[in-house]
């Protein structure tokens, strides 16, 4: 196994949460056909992050997985408002 890096550890943590990941450079995927080639296999993740130790972690979305991009304070407040309306949503959030 490669020497663990913070990004490798985070990618493996995403797998443990049931997510499929792929390496990316900023917003550019480092692999072809990433929607189909994203993986939930630790051996593949270890190989990718050995090859690209500084790669960012992409998450392949599924129909029941949503992403809230909260770069702006207003967007963050909107997410809080959604949670206030549906407290069960809070349990589903990855932080």
Record the tokens describing residue 66, joined without a space.
Answer: 């949503």
pLDDT in tens, 48-68: 999 999 999 999 988 777 676
The residues with which 56 forms a beta bridge, in sequence order, are: 24
Could you tell me the CA-to-CA distances from 47 to 4, 22, 26, 32, 90 in Å, in that order? 11, 11, 19, 15, 34
What is the C-alpha separation between 81 and 78, in angstroms, rounded?
5
Confidence (pLDDT) at 77 = 83
Q: What mean pLDDT do residues 81-95 have?
A: 75
pLDDT in tens, 2-33: 455 799 999 999 999 899 999 999 889 999 99
Reported pTM: 0.73
Name the helix (H) or strand (E) containing 27: none
23 neighbors 71 (Cβ within 8 angstroms): no
């Amino acid at each position: 196994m490669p020497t663990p890096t913070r990004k490798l550890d985070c990618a493996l943590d995403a797998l443990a949460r049931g997510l499929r990941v792929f390496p990316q450079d900023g917003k550019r995927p480092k692999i072809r056909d990433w929607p189909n080639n994203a993986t939930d296999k630790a051996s593949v993740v270890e190989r990718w992050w050995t090859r690209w130790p500084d790669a960012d972690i992409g998450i392949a979305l599924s129909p029941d997985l949503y992403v809230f991009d909260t770069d702006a304070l207003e967007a963050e407040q909107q997410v809080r408002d959604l949670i206030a309306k549906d407290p069960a949503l809070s349990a589903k959030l990855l932080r």
